[in-house]
């Protein structure tokens, strides 16, 4: 195996230890920011739906403010957002570079997108089911968990899959501004030093990650669709 690598991917073989570290950094950024984005996205997406006009917790003030914030952050390109958040990232994370410094901007870039995905998923729930739950005397919190979230599991799983793949791309973009991970590794060696073998292998690895995410998402969707 080592002989094959040395023959066909000599540059990657030379920087193999650093390559392995970059993979670990990418996975750390993906899982840490992904979990946080999932939690906040579910919460904010649910609030957007239930506070909408005519819904169980109608509140135009909260809905308009939250919708505006989500739309503003969604409209900012991620590379610009990272730079814009540097002062806040330094305060919250203690640094704005490396894996630790990339997690906060990744969450801020991912949450608005996932929030809208959750909004769409929950909005597709049949209003008749919600009205039936209300007539049975269920509280708003019970309706949220037993109707909205439960009925939307396949759609939320689909949204999570799409968001996770997008987030993987954001981690690579984060490498362009010192975020670490595969993005930084490819830029440092594949782009700046023109080591094409490093670029090709990194692209193949990212495609494998995407395939795994998509396969897992499809399995969850299939299991939860009824």
- pLDDT top residue among 172 and 158: 158
Residue 63: pLDDT over 70: yes
The average pLDDT across 36-46 equals: 96
Residue 112: pLDDT over 70: yes
User: Alpha carbon 39 to chain centroid distance?
Assistant: 11
pLDDT at site 83: 87
Q: How confident is the model at residue 26 (pLDDT cuts 50, 70, 90)?
A: very high
pLDDT at site 193: 84
Classify domain 2-224 at the CATH superfamily level: MetI-like (1.10.3720.10)
Contacts of 36 (CB under 8 A, 6+ apart): 103, 107, 111
Specify burial of residue 13 (Cβ count, 10 A radius: 0-12, 13-18, 19+): middle
Q: What is the mean pLDDT of the chain?
A: 90
Nearest 5 degrees, angle CA 102-CA 103-CA 106? 85
- pLDDT top residue among 2 and 74: 74
Q: How confident is the model at residue 149 (pLDDT cuts 50, 70, 90)?
A: very high
Question: 19 with 181: CB under 8 angstroms?
Answer: no
Residue 1: pLDDT over 70: no
Helix 86-93 vs helix 98-123: crossing angle, to nearest 10: 100
The average pLDDT across 157-172 equals: 93
d(CA 197, CA 177): 22
CB-side neighbour CA atoms (13 Å) of 48: 24
d(CA 198, CA 17): 13
d(CA 216, CA 198): 27
Residue 2: pLDDT over 70: no
Nearest C-alpha neighbor of 152 from the set 122, 115, 120, 132: 122
pLDDT at site 192: 82
pLDDT at site 216: 94
Specify burial of residue 86 (Cβ count, 10 A radius: 0-12, 13-18, 19+): middle
pLDDT at site 226: 64
Task: Tell me the CA distances in angstroms from 140 to 20, 50, 57, 58, 167, one per residue in order.
Answer: 48, 9, 7, 11, 32
**3-state class (DSSP) for residue 59:** coil
How much is the pTM?
Answer: 0.90
| Tokens read off for 91 | 């305060």
pLDDT tens per residue, range 76-110: 988 888 889 989 999 998 888 888 888 999 999 99
């Amino acid at each position: 195996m080592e002989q094959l690598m040395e023959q066909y991917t000599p540059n990657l073989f030379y920087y193999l230890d650093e390559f392995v570290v970059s993979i670990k950094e990418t996975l750390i950024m993906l899982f840490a920011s992904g979990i946080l984005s999932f939690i906040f996205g579910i919460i904010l997406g649910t609030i957007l739906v239930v506070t909408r006009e005519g819904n169980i917790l109608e509140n135009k003030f909260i809905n308009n403010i939250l919708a505006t914030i989500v739309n503003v952050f969604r409209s900012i390109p991620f590379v610009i957002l990272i730079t814009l958040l540097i002062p806040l990232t330094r305060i919250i994370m203690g640094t704005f570079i490396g894996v630790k410094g990339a997690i906060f901007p990744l969450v801020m870039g991912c949450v608005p997108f996932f929030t809208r995905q959750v909004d769409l998923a929950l909005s597709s729930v049949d209003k008749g089911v919600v009205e039936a739950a209300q007539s049975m005397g269920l509280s708003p919190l019970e309706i949220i968990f037993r109707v909205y979230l439960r009925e939307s599991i396949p759609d939320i799983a689909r949204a999570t899959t799409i968001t996770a793949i997008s987030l993987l791309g954001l981690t690579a973009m984060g490498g362009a501004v010192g975020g670490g991970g595969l993005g930084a590794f490819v830029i440092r060696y594949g782009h700046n030093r023109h080591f094409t073998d490093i670029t090709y292998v990194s692209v193949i690895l990212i495609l494998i990650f995407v395939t795994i995410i998509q396969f897992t998402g499809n399995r969850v969707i299939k299991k939860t669709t009824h």
